[in-house]
Structure 1
Amino acid sequence: MQHHTHAHDDDVVVFNIGMTIARPHRIDLWWPVFVAMPRMIAELERHRAAAERGEAEDLGFLGATTLMGRRGPWVVQYWRSTEQLYRYASSADHAHLPAWKAFNAAGRKHPGAVGIWHETFAVPASGVETLYGNGAQIGLGAATGTVEVSRRGARARTRLGSRVA
Structure 2
Amino acid sequence: MTTLTTHDHHGELAVFLIGARVERLWRPDAWWPAMAAMRPMLAELTADADSGFLGGTTLLGSRGPTMVQYWRSVEHVYAYANDDARRHRPAWAEFYRRARRVPGAVTVWHETFRVPADGHESLYVGAPARFGLAAATGAVPAARRGRTARERLAHASEEA
TM class by smaller structure: over 0.9
Q: Which amino acid aligns with 2:142?
A: V
Instruction: Show CA shifts across 1:121-159 (max 9, x none).
Output: 000121101001112521111000010001100111100
Deviation at 1:69, TM superposition (A): 1.3
- TM-score calculated relative to the size of structure 1: 0.90
Q: Which residue pairs with 1:18 in the alignment?
A: 19
- 1:65 is paired with a residue whose SS is strand
Instruction: Show CA shifts across 1:26-82 (max 9, x none).
Output: 11111101111111111111112xxxxxxxxx1111111111012310111111111
Separation in 1, partners of 2:114, 2:6 = 20
Separation in 2, partners of 1:108, 1:28 = 13
Matched, 1:154 2:155: no
Q: After the TM superposition, which segments of 4 or more aligned residues of structure 1 sit over 6 Å from their partners?
A: none
Separation in 2, partners of 1:128, 1:70 = 29
Deviation at 1:96, TM superposition (A): 0.5
Instruction: Show CA shifts across 1:91-123 (max 9, x none).
Output: 111110100000011111111011100000000
1:128–1:161 CA contact under 8 A, matched in 2? no
Matched, 1:85 2:77: yes
Q: Which residue pairs with 2:34 in the alignment?
A: 33
Matched, 1:140 2:133: yes
Matched, 1:73 2:65: yes
- 2:51 is paired with a residue whose SS is coil
Separation in 2, partners of 1:154, 1:123 = 22
Q: Which residue pairs with 1:43 in the alignment?
A: 44
Q: Which amino acid aligns with 1:22?
A: E
- 2:54 is paired with a residue whose SS is strand
- TM-score calculated relative to the size of structure 2: 0.93
Separation in 2, partners of 1:85, 1:119 = 11
Deviation at 1:161, TM superposition (A): 4.0
Separation in 1, partners of 2:37, 2:153 = 35
Separation in 1, partners of 2:107, 2:154 = 36
Please say which of residues 38-47 and 13-22 is displaced more in the overlay: 38-47
Gaps of 5+ in 2: none
Separation in 1, partners of 2:91, 2:139 = 33
